[in-house]
Chain A
Amino acid sequence: MELVNNVVCPFCGTLCDDIICKVENDEIVGTYNACIIGHSKFVHTEGAMRYKKPLLRKNGEFVEISYEEAIDKAAQILVDAKRPLMYGWSCTECSAQEVGMELAEEVRAVVDNTASVCHGPSLLAVHDTGYPVCTLGEVKNRADVVVYWGCNPFHAHPRHLSRHSYARGFFRERGRADRTIIVVDPRKSDTSKLADIHLQLDYNNDYELVDAMRAALKGHEILYEEVAGIPRDDIVGAVEALKKAQFGILFFGMGITHSLGKHRNIDTAIMMVQELNQFAKWTLIPMRGHYNVNGFNQVCTWESGYPFCVDFATGTPRYNPGETGSNDLLQNKEADAMMVIASDPGAHFPQNALHTMAEIPVIAIEPHRTPTTEMANLIIPPAIVGMEAEGTAYRMDGVPLRMKKVVESDLLSDKEILEKILEKAQELKASK
C-alpha cells in the first residue's frame, strides 16, 4: 500500500488539503483526515454506476460509441443550436473551465454554473454592495466572534468547524474557548447546538431582521417590539455583541441566500458587515458548496468580465441573471440544446426546467449515472478531477489549490474532452 499525502478533497468548498490517500493497485482504498463525505467520494470513484465508454441514445436505448464519435456528435449539437446552454462546471478544474469558456464563445452559447442555484444570489448582492472577505486562516488566527447564518456546517461542511472555528490560532491560543459562536437559523441544527447564542428567527424573515439590526447599529430605535419573531431587546443585544468583537466573521449559506428575497438578504447582510467595521473588524465568507464552484466564477469572470450566466449569443458577452441563467433559459423554453458538465441539474432543477431538458438534446459529460444522464441523449465519461486528473480549484475564500491526480485512468479528462469538442466545433463552423 502506498500513501499519497497532501491530497485536496474534491467534495465541498472547504477544500481540505491534508487528505492522505491509501492506494493499492492504482485504486484508492482508504483515506486519513477526510470527513465521512470526502472519504466516500475518494473510495467510491465507481459510484453506483461508472460510465467507461461514451453512450449515445438511439431509439430510446443507450449504445456504446467511441470518444471520437461522441465528440463529433457533441460538437454538431452545439453548432446546430440557436440558443445552446452550457451548464455545470463546479466539479471540475479551472483549465477545463477555461476551455469551456472558449467553446461557449465559439458556439455562441449561454454558459452558467451551479452558483445559479446556490450562491448566485450572493454574486448579485456582491454586484450591488461589494465583498468584504478574508481567508480562512484569518478566522483561525484572529476571529473572536463567529456567526453562522443560514448554514449548518456540522453536516454540509463537516471539517469547517474544527479547521477554522474551533482551531487554535495565533491570537486565539485556546481555540473554541476564545470565541463566541452565534448561529442564526430558524431551525435547531447540530451547528446551533454548539452555539453560544442561537437567534432562532422566523422563516423567510432574514431581511426584516437585518434591516432592524442595521437601524439599531446606527442608534435608531427599532420600529416594532418584535422583528422576525425576536424581541427588540434581544436584537439590540445581538448587535452589541457584534460591535464588541475584535475580529468578527459572518459565514452564510443557503438558508439566507434562498429564503425570501434571496440576493437582497445577502445585500443587506454584506452592508451590515461593512458598517460593523466602524466598530470592529468584520468580514464574511460564503459557505460555497461544490468544491470548485468558486473556481468557475473566477474563470468566467477573468475570461468574460462576468461570474456566471454569460450570454455569447451576439459574440459579445452579456449578462443578466434572470434572463441568462440556466433556469431562466430552460423555464422560458429559450434553450434548444444543453451541455451539462460536472454537475447534476437533473437532480436539482425544478420541474419546469426539467420539462425543457426532456425536450431538447442534452449532452452530459459525467462520470456516473445520475438523474441528468437519465435525461441525456449523449453521455461522455471523463476521468474524475482530484483523483484521476489534476488542476486548480478555488476554496470558498478564494485560495487556489492544485487538485491531485492520485491514480491513473484510461478515460479522457474534462479538459481533453472539451478541447476536442472545441476543435471539432471550429472545424464545423469553418465549413458552414
Chain B
Amino acid sequence: MSSITVLEADDFVKGLQGIGFDFFTGVPDTILGGIIAHLTEERLYTPAVREDEAVAMAAGAYLGGKIPAVLMQNSGLGNALNVLASLNLIYQIPCLLLVSWRGFEGKDAPEHLVMGETMTTLLDTVRIPHRTLSQKTIVDDLKWTATTIMEKRVPVALLLKKGIVKTIQP
C-alpha cells in the first residue's frame, strides 16, 4: 500500500492555472477523466475530435494570447506529431501536452503496448522536453513546465500515469 495520496483533480487544475494555463482542449482518456470532468464543470474545456486538431486549436489560442494545454492519451501523440513538428516546433508556439501514459511497463491492453514502451524515446527524438509527473515532485514539475515553455517556446509534455490524479469512479 502506498502512503502517497492521489491528487484531487481540482487541485491539479488549480496548479496548472497557477502557472498561467488558461486554455484547455484535448481528446479524453480514462486516466484524464477526473481532470476533464473538473475542467468541463468549470467551463474551461473545449473538446476536440482529434489530437492534431487539439494541438492546432491550442496553437490558435496561443496566437490569440492564451497559454494552452492539450490533454490526450499517448496514442494521440502519433496523430499530433506532424502538427507538433511542422507547426509548434518551427514557429516557436508552445503548449503543454498532458499525456496519459497507457501501456506503462507493459501492463495494459495490447493496443497500448508499443506506444507505452516507445513514447519517451519518441518525444526525445522529436525534441519535445518531457517529465513524468509524481505526487512527490509535482511542485517542481509544474515549475519546470512553466520555465521551459517561457524560455524555449516549445511544446512540453507532462506524462501522467494511472493513480497520480484522481479519475472518475466507474
* A and B from one complex: no
Interface residues of A (CB under 8 A from B): none
Interface residues of B (CB under 8 A from A): none
